A and B are shown apart, each in its own frame.
Chain A
Amino acid sequence: MELLEIVNTKLKEHFAGDIESAEQLYDYPVFTVNKDKIHDVLKFLKEDETLNFHFLTDLCGMQTADEKQLGVIYHLHNMPKNYRIRLKTFFDINKPEVATATDLWPSANWMERETYDFFGVKFKGHPNLKRILNVDEMDIFPLRKEYPLEDQGRTDKNDSMFGR
């Protein structure tokens, strides 16, 4: 809980209006950041001397439950102090554009390509944004919810059959 406050005060100081939410989810402080400011926030978190989030643990995409928005999720780590935080940013599915983090961490390169491959998020400024795990000819973004694997609303198996 302390870490949430430390990071939140720092972020509020510099990006007052752009931090949309700050909460503690299980063992992780989670911040939702305005998508136009995500690069500045990441840069600040990386370069600030006390916070020093120098390690990009993970970067992945997601789609919100209403299927109208896409999101990118960053897991950052400060190894000397063992601080771990999660950042999220959401944007409209019809205009999926967000700034790249490849200039801050070279490791973001393939993770962003993977996110593009599966969700179609366009990372502005990425040096080589093309598909990585799927074939180049693919014309869909398979992890989006509009491509279900199988009928999601199976009604043949529900609890009422067991009398509850």
Chain B
Amino acid sequence: MSSSVLYDAPGPKARVRNRIYTVLGSLAVLGLIAFTLYRMNVKGQLEPEVWNIFNNAGVRTSIRDGVVTTLKVFAVAGVLSLVLGLLLAVARLSEHKTVRWAATGFIELFRAIPLLITIYALWFLFLTYKNGLGVVGDNTAFWALVIGLTVYNGCVQAEVIRAGVNAVPRGQVEAAYALGLRKSQVMTMLLLPQAVRSMLPTMISQLVVTLKDTSLGYIITYSELLFAARTMASNIIVNGENPITAVVIVVGAIYVALCLALAGLATWIERRGRRAKTGIAVAAATEPSVVDGTD
């Protein structure tokens, strides 16, 4: 760990002091937890009846349905955003000025606009022209959410993939052209495979963001996990009030578990890629933070 350099290996005095701090710190953390539990108890949130609702089959079903719906949105939006990301990355690296400019404009615009704004505008648009839209019209909130997520995350994925393509040594491209490969062959057989392989951890970390952002469906009243849970909580009355606290804690735990699992996958792939001797260096499993295309 890099931090150990910030302080010396403790001597006898420092050990005593650290021990005192450890006790004080533990007490503070425990105190915080105890205070939270105490307040919850005072407000009747720890009563057995409140938590007993999770033994109810209906409650379980609606939470399960919520998880399934969230995962469905995530799966569709995740796959579509990766496809869009690939297309936009290729378009942005194109030799044709118009294609390159169009892709750049699209990426810069939709990355700068809050996702919620896009989703809400799409939802409103779909609701307005509901009848003429066929499949989309039947499930406006779903498609608004999916397309909004796809557009935004596709733009971010495009930037990530482009960074990967740019990391491939120039000599490889020249060698490929010298062998007589076409432009499309160089892209599909040489650049993209290496870019995707090296950027996979970062791309999965962006998928974690996609997963978290599916919760924006709550705002356009789409019944993903958060909205389903909230609706359910407001339909149940235990001890004279809605068990929102309990439901929020459970739903929060589900989200954290899902995101941690996905982030764990990213870290695992990163570590696995680091062991390999071939190819370009694997990127870190962190969320991409490219602000503007200056990199």
- Do A and B bind? no
| A contact set with B: CB distance below 8 Å | none
Interface residues of B (CB under 8 A from A): none
